[in-house]
Structure 1
């Protein structure tokens, strides 16, 4: 997936509105100004190419081979992550298998 560069192009709000279709396809962020003052930042999101998607699919398959988890284990991990993110204690679980 092609990521935007960090160097932004600065344009006035009228120019931005007039050429928004071009800016959507841009490779870099756009700083939008009004009367010389920055009023916004537009960061175009690039869609991944077929090659990028294939690389991500292959990496996911390789990960599943290296770390085989059941659907229940994945759901448990997601629930634990949500609890920790909210500052809640993890539920007590039996360690017997």
Structure 2
């Protein structure tokens, strides 16, 4: 795990109760915040970065393709095809390990 040093002078400080009340705003701000409780540092809140728009677009396309697949086929067919593809994707060493475990 990598240590991240956050200078206290540049980090806004917020009491825990205020932080809880305005959590949505702090997430949207994208800035790290020092959270205090009874005047002592309780921790730091570092919002995760939003995924790039291109990544979100790819996810939307994948969801649409999956929905179309479900519309075109029966669920049993989709599950059977998934299981077949999953078995084909397994590395051969895994199959050997599974075979030894069944002995």
Normalising by structure 1, we get a TM-score of: 0.43
Normalising by structure 2, we get a TM-score of: 0.41
The higher-RCO structure (CA 8 Å, 6+ apart) is 1
